[in-house]
Amino acid sequence: MQHRQSIKGHKKGQVKIEFSPKLITSWGGTAAIFSRYFAKIGFSELVEKIFPVQEFSNNSTGVYSKLISLFISVLNGGTKFSHINYMENGIKVFERCFEVKRLTKSSTGITRYWNKYDQQSLNEILLENISRYFIRPLLLQANISKDTLRFDSTVITRYGKQGGAKKGYNPAKRGRPSHHPQIAFLGSGYTVNFWNRSGNTKSSNGIVDFYEQTIRFIDGIEIERVLADSGYYSREFIQKLEEDGIVYVISVPMYQFFQRIIYALDNWTKIEEGLEVNELRYSHLDEIWGGERRYIVVRQEIKRRPKATGKQLTLFMDEDYGKEYRHSLFITNDQTSSPHQVWCYYRPRANVENIIENLKDGFGLSAYNLNNFWATEAVLMSICLILHNLVTILVKQVIMTSDKGRKLRTIRMEYLIIPAIMGKDGRDDVLRLGITQFKRITNIKQVLERLNNMRLTFYCNAVEEKEVS
């Protein structure tokens, strides 16, 4: 017999407050959508293939349970391991929906597992497995045969003495230790490689090895062009791309000698009011660069285009010219496209910044960390390469929302935060979602129906299709 507890001291006419032992959760959308999603794609079998550290103790909840607990916490807005503790309210709902005997409900149970990834060799195996068993099949089933490849890095501030947390370039928190991970993206929005790095590492450090590994991971996809920001303006990287015959467009730092060259340019081509382009040929004095290359310059008038990107020429700020324009400089081996076309090729790279912002703010990439450097990398790698890609393909094939609605915070508010109660219909468990708006009910039904029709799978056994009521 269930007993309800009430709070005394309410005023006459005021709503009473009681505590219920029933199986209730405020995250009914997460339980309903992602439990069916993971079952549909065979995620439990996939986890067994990917993660090299397995647990076989009778007292252990298992790797799948720990990963599900972490992912549920992230999906529900958790930004640190301790937030898993709050999942205990309604954890039985998740255990039944995900068909897991026992979910890990303490942060120590999660961190104890991830701390076993304490050496680089384990992470290398993990990364190879993610690529082989998850990323390659995902891209194949997403019918991606041609795409752009984009590289970027981000600074993650740390507030402790975690391994690899070093002082380096940190524009948001100057002087604070940080990590400086490097990420590879496809233009379609999927993340395809991830390395964590110390905070005192510059953006281009290790980029050639990172690029070669990424190319191997996405073997079979034709690379239209490589796009990268000014942190990757590196001779070694540029020469490697040229050796491989890859077309590239890379932003160039506004060094002083480039500022002088740009200032002296004439014959600008007007694209529209306040927007002009130009080009130049330049050869570095260091002969190791190996000859001149093509550079594209974009000039935007600040008065007409106040939100224009680019840099002002700091050497000429005492002149009207330096105050009136922002400039962007790019290097490319594309010899046929016009300067404006080259700039248009590069502009979509800005979407990478949105993906990184989504990873840091929505998926908690900026908060999850452990004392051991390699353990931190294993966690971030799993969130960035597995969970983020799972959400990305869910949005593309099931939720089908606009670009502006693809951030996890938006999806969370619209589809995941739904009160629900677990009940019975005969012998069957029933998760009853607390939605009254007809439009929202229709949206959730459509999502569940599309999940049933989804073709993405990582195993051969058929999943029994359940009717959406």
The tens-digit pLDDT sequence of the chain (469 residues) is 455 566 666 677 788 888 888 888 999 999 999 999 999 999 999 999 999 998 776 566 789 999 999 999 999 998 888 888 777 778 899 999 999 988 888 888 899 999 999 999 999 999 999 999 999 999 998 899 999 999 999 999 898 888 988 988 888 788 889 999 999 999 999 999 999 999 999 999 999 999 999 999 999 899 999 999 999 999 999 999 999 999 999 999 999 999 999 999 999 999 999 999 999 999 998 889 988 999 999 999 999 999 888 999 999 999 988 899 999 999 999 999 999 999 999 998 778 889 999 999 999 998 899 999 999 999 999 999 999 999 999 999 999 876 655 789 999 999 999 999 999 888 889 999 999 999 999 999 999 999 999 888 876 443 344 444 4
Is 304 within the bounds of a domain? yes
Dihedral sign for Cα atoms in the order 239, 244, 245, 248: negative
**Tokens read off for 345:** 């090729």
Is 35 within the bounds of a domain? yes
Please list the residues that pair with 295 across neighbouring strands.
Answer: 280, 331
Is 290 within the bounds of a domain? yes
Distance CA 423, CA 92 (A): 12
Is 300 within the bounds of a domain? yes
Q: Quick check: 75 and 416 in contact, CB under 8 A?
A: yes
Of the residues 306, 332, 358, which one is the last residue of a structural domain? 332
For the chain, the domain total comes to 2
Residue 9 confidence (pLDDT): 63
Is 431 within the bounds of a domain? yes
Distance CA 111, CA 372 (A): 11
Of the residues 304, 332, 360, which one is the last residue of a structural domain? 332
What's the whole-model pTM score?
0.91
Is 211 within the bounds of a domain? no
Range of the domain at 279: 248-332
Residue 422 confidence (pLDDT): 92
- In the chain, how long is the greatest CA-to-CA distance? 87
Distance CA 357, CA 75 (A): 15
Is 78 within the bounds of a domain? yes
